[in-house]
Amino acid sequence: MNRLKTKSLLLAMIVFLALTSWQCRSSKKAVNPVDSGEEVRLEQYCSGKEYFSNKDYFRGNAVGESMDQNISKQKALINARTLLAQQIEVTVKNVTDNYIKSSEMNNVEGVEERLEGMTREVTNQKLSGTRIICEELTKTKGGNYKTYLAIELSGDEIATAMQQRLSNDDKLRIDFDYEKFKKTFDEEMSKME
């Protein structure tokens, strides 16, 4: 029995040493330019100042990578739309907060809740109408496809859709002043410049 334990221990040590030396050799082969003190300038497509949100448009850009070309584009589009939705929700939340503060509404908490719900609905509806303003497709050394994508959605489209939804809501329509809402919305959009 003692011999069996010794052989098992010896075999385990040999396997451990073999694995350790294999890992050390494989890690020495990979050289990262940053680790060696070099810098590599990377070009990111569909990115930069002309693809940022501004007073007229919400914009989002993203990258998707996959072994399949169509899936890489779908991933990029989903990621860009997610970023766009977050921007719209934050902006409209600020507009809503400022609009409610400057208005004399009866049930502020209820109004705020209803407006937030409408914002989500309008955002989800309008995201399908985004326009692709930049699309670049590359193929990596590993054989994957990479899609760089930038999309935009007009701020006026969001404001108009909000106005339509608000005018269909009996409770909110009574207190709602579109001109005041639009002015607040435009002020918030101009902060993106």
For 67, what's the count of Cα atoms within 13 Å in the CB-facing half-sphere? 1
Residue 82 lies in a domain: yes
Residue 173 lies in a domain: yes
User: What was the pLDDT predicted at 160?
Assistant: 86
Return the number of other C-beta atoms located less than 10 Å from residue 80's C-beta: 26
What is the spatial distance between Cα 174 and Cα 172, in angstroms, rounded to a whole number? Answer: 5
What is the spatial distance between Cα 186 and Cα 47, in angstroms, rounded to a whole number? Answer: 25
Residue 131 lies in a domain: yes
Residue 152 lies in a domain: yes
User: How many helices, marked H, and strands, marked E, lie in the chain?
Assistant: 6, 3
Q: How many domains does the chain have?
A: 1
CB 96 within 8 A of CB 120: no
Residue 93 lies in a domain: yes
Residue 31 lies in a domain: no
Percentage of the chain beyond pLDDT 90 is 33
Q: Among the listed ranges 30-44, 51-65, 141-155, 173-187, which one has the minimum average pLDDT value?
A: 30-44
Between these two residues, 153 and 126, which has the higher pLDDT value?
153
Q: How confident is the model at residue 119 (pLDDT cuts 50, 70, 90)?
A: confident
- Examine the pLDDT at 132 and tell me if it is beyond 60: yes
- Residues of the domain holding 147: 52-190
User: What was the pLDDT predicted at 182?
Assistant: 83
DSSP string across 88-136: HHHHHHHHHHHHHHHS--S-HHHHHHHHHHHHHHHHHHHHTT-EEEEEE
Residue 3 lies in a domain: no
Residue 71 lies in a domain: yes
What is the spatial distance between Cα 40 and Cα 68, in angstroms, rounded to a whole number? Answer: 27
pTM score above 0.85: no
